[in-house]
Amino acid sequence: MSTEPPLTPRRDFLGSFATGIGGVALAGLLSRDGLLAGARESHYAPRARRLIHVFLQGGLSHLDSWDHKPRLAKLHGKAMPEEGEKPDVFGKKIGAIHRPFWEFKQCGQSGLWGSALFPHLREHMDELAFIKSMTAPSGNHTPATYIANCGFNELAFPCMGSWISYGLGSENRDVPGFVVLGDPRGLPSGGPNLWGAGFLPGQHQGVRFQSSDNPINFLNSPRKISEATRRARYRMLEEMNRRHLAERGSDSDPLRARLASYELAARMQLAIPGVVELAEETEQTQALYGMEQDETKDFGRMCLLARRMVERGVRVVQLWSGATLAQPTWDSHGELAKDHWREAVRIDRPLAGLLTDLRQRGLLDETLVVFSTEFGRTPFTEIEGGKLGSGRDHSQDGFTNWFAGGGVKGGSEYGATDSLGFRTRENPVSVHDFHATILHLLGIDHTALTYLHNGFERRLTNVHGHVIDEILA
């Protein structure tokens, strides 16, 4: 007969343990198993070591930002010419053609065109590599956003950040491999699944930071729980998990993912306060990100946090612009000039500041910055009867994303839409091609980054995707 004292069932214990991680004792107790993975080997030498991904949900108008189409001004107020197939768009309302809402000019030594919607970013044209022939398989926000981030429209599939964390691990055991900085106004359409790990081990999901003084919910224990109580709980948890792993554990056991998450949470209690302490930054640096102005301070804080995170070894930082579609953001069906300008003012100066700061600190060459959206917008306005309206509908057949930094050819562009910017006409690029290129720049062969799930070797790019070599430096 065993003389060991009876143990509390794991489910009951974990329920009481969930009142908080608290302290750093857990890291020491669990580190003996090495459950929190560090950096892993890439498939080949990476051009960039880390990724900052800026996603604009709602559908940025490429025609009013990066894709200069002089013909729009010539046909302003006129009906769409009968060229090719009849437009089939989300709202089913086809109004008159509208010229760009902002003036374009050629910028930098490259002479690439950029509009006054992004006056600060367009001064960085020589650092940007544009994909002007993006296509999306859906013209509906939620599925298009899932596909743009996960490669699939199913909720159970991991997002790109989780795949990268799974493939490369973290450069620093004390911080997450994948951090999400959400729009403080609310969640995007699709919710937290957009940065979920799906069927990958849970420690690879995005850790969402908030813009408040308490960036991560439940990271610290309630003050009423004493240090002695916390340590006693940790010791009991460690013993229960040790027995469970010895009896039934395996490399794929979800318990290992949970333990890794516990260990990371304990380590973060020491590391995170130093990451989010922006008072360490000079006034000049904070001004570079626009943190002294009400319109730019929220996104400026996000961009500055992103720089501090990649400095400390976070592999992927994703920034979201555009909250729930219940409020006007980039989804400008009615008042594009007002909606787009409000959103652009929030992000333009902070993003330009981020590029400048990364370059000045010698980080831009090893950091890949990606700017993307789920689809573009139509050359015609969204109003019945061919009239001239003030908004544009969704356009999935041709839009623009861009890269900057590690391994890309600044001042370049790839692909093209037709003369009205409605459909891709040269070198169409799918979401899978886009993802394959990002993985390649990080040293990952997109065909070799796989995970066995339900009998299938799954990957981010499914069975598709090719690297866009033309934009590589």
Domain range annotation of the chain: 44-226+267-471
Quick count: other Cβ atoms within 10 Å of Cβ 464?
A: 14
DSSP state, 473? Answer: -
Question: Which two structure tokens, joined as six digits, stand for 262?
Answer: 């516990």
Q: Are 413 and 112 in contact (CB under 8 A)?
A: yes
| Separation between Cα atoms, residue 133 and residue 427, nearest integer Å | 6
DSSP run (H or E) holding 316: strand 316-321
The residues pairing with 316 across neighbouring beta strands, listed in sequence order, are: 51, 178
Q: 416-471 pLDDT, tens per residue?
A: 999 999 999 999 999 999 999 999 999 999 999 999 999 999 999 999 999 999 99
Q: What is the CA radius of gyration of the chain?
A: 24
Q: Are 466 and 414 in contact (CB under 8 A)?
A: no
| Separation between Cα atoms, residue 377 and residue 115, nearest integer Å | 15
Band of residue 40 on the pLDDT scale cut at 50, 70, 90: confident
**Residue whose token pair is 């940790």:** 234
* Phi, psi dihedrals of residue 447, rounded to the nearest 5°: -80, -15
**Interaxial angle between packed helices 297-311 and 336-360, expressed in degrees from 0 to 180 and rounded to the nearest 10:** 30
Multiple choice CATH, 44-226+267-471, 2.50.20.10, 3.40.50.880, 3.30.2390.10, 3.40.720.10: 3.40.720.10
pLDDT over threshold 50, residue 90: yes
Q: Residues 401-418: what's their mean pLDDT?
A: 98
For 139: left if phi > 0, alpha if psi spans -120 to 50, otherwise beta; the answer is alpha
| Separation between Cα atoms, residue 337 and residue 170, nearest integer Å | 41
The residues pairing with 129 across neighbouring beta strands, listed in sequence order, are: 403, 412
Q: 222-268 pLDDT, tens per residue?
A: 667 777 887 787 788 778 877 777 777 655 566 666 666 666 666 66
